[in-house]
């Protein structure tokens, strides 16, 4: 009996759900799940998750007191909402969930560390072990340095918004648990910059992740690679064998509905014999490499701004919902 692409992919790669929609997770049975501010904002607006949102808002109001301004309550609630979703998600997936630090802190090492510790403390309070949590942090130099310290404390990190080899090398040297290179966003940039279309192995996002995979396996780094932000199943097929791939429900559906052979493209043993040179990466080298990489510079800046805007939108939605809840007389 032939297998669909999703079943075959699972033989080579850990499949992760790139969504805040728990119904989709129950349908596709991923090992792990990852969310970001945009996905949490989208999920928070779905009727089936209104009880989670309302519960977080009521708890925030209770914690801050009845005289606290709605904006303060909404601010506290949005910082708690991702953790509330994370707790629910961990009842569905057997593995880990990624919870993101506020994107506004991407260039602030100390505040990133403080918020990461706060997130872990809340999961600890809920009885969830830190082996099931990945703290998502943007792959700025400051974010990577924060992750390096957190990993030494036993707090595992997922470095996101990763677009360049310099970011990947710095993350590996820092000993982070996981990186999330953004395949589709790299493709988007090159299509816009060149006016060309790219398919299969010629896709710049596929090439970027493949290069990072080969480098990590060649030099024996423990940091795992989780390809993210896919635009089509062709990109996923080209990265079969990557440690993990985080995939949207739409593309998970396409993979499960498609029956065809899926050969393994990335293999750790094959990578070990590649003639690669080791890259030295300190702060000065990182800054120089980042400035020289227009794509990585553009997409990191755009990604941080986008996630920050999503948080601000969510905070506004929560303030509005809080006003609606408080307009209803107590029974």
Distances (CA, A) of 186 to 36, 56, 154: 18, 36, 31
Closest CA to 144 of 120, 104, 178: 178
| β-sheet bridge partners, residue 157 | 135
| β-sheet bridge partners, residue 289 | none
Closest CA to 101 of 130, 85, 78, 74: 78
Residue 75: CB atoms within 10 Å: 17
Q: Which two tokens stand for residue 114?
A: 């403080």
Q: Which two tokens stand for residue 7?
A: 């079943």
**Element holding 236 (H helix, E strand):** helix 233-238
- As a whole number of angstroms, the distance between CA 35 and CA 318 comes to 18
- As a whole number of angstroms, the distance between CA 288 and CA 290 comes to 5
> Which residue among 88, 91, 136, 237 is the active-site one?
136
- As a whole number of angstroms, the distance between CA 135 and CA 97 comes to 9
Contacts with 186 (C-beta within 8 Å, 6 or more apart), sequence order: 163, 204, 205, 208, 295, 299
Place of tokens 């279309």: 197
- As a whole number of angstroms, the distance between CA 228 and CA 209 comes to 10
* 237 included as an active-site residue: no
* Catalytic residue numbers, as ranges: 136
């Amino acid at each position: 009996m032939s297998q669909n692409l999703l079943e075959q992919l699972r033989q080579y790669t850990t499949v992760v759900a790139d969504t805040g929609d728990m119904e989709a997770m129950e349908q596709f049975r991923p090992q792990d799940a990852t969310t970001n501010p945009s996905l949490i904002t989208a999920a928070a607006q779905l009727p089936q998750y209104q009880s989670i949102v309302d519960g977080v808002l009521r708890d925030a109001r209770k914690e801050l007191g009845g005289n606290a301004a709605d904006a303060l309550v909404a601010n506290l609630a949005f910082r708690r909402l991702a953790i509330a979703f994370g707790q629910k998600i961990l009842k569905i997936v057997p593995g880990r969930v990624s919870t993101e630090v506020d994107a506004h802190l991407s260039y602030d090492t100390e505040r990133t560390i403080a918020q990461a510790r706060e997130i872990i403390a809340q999961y600890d309070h809920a009885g969830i072990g830190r082996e099931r949590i990945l703290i998502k942090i943007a792959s700025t130099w400051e974010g990577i340095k924060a992750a390096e310290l957190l990993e030494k404390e036993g707090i595992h990190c997922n470095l996101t918004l990763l677009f360049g080899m310099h970011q990947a090398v710095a993350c590996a040297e820092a000993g982070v648990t996981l990186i999330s290179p953004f395949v589709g966003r790299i493709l988007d940039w090159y299509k816009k910059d060149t006016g060309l279309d790219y398919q299969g192995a010629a896709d710049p996002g596929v090439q970027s992740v493949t290069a990072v995979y080969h480098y990590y396996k060649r030099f024996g780094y423990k940091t795992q690679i989780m390809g993210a932000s896919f635009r089509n199943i062709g990109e996923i097929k080209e990265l079969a064998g990557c440690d993990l791939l985080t995939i949207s429900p739409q593309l998970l559906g396409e993979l499960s509905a498609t029956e065809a052979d899926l050969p393994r493209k990335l293999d750790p043993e094959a990578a070990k014999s590649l003639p690669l040179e080791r890259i030295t990466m300190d702060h000065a080298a990182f800054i120089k490499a980042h400035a020289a990489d227009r794509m990585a510079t553009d997409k990191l800046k755009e990604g941080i701004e986008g996630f920050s805007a999503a948080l601000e939108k969510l905070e506004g939605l929560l303030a509005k919902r809080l006003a609606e809840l408080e307009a209803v007389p107590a029974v």
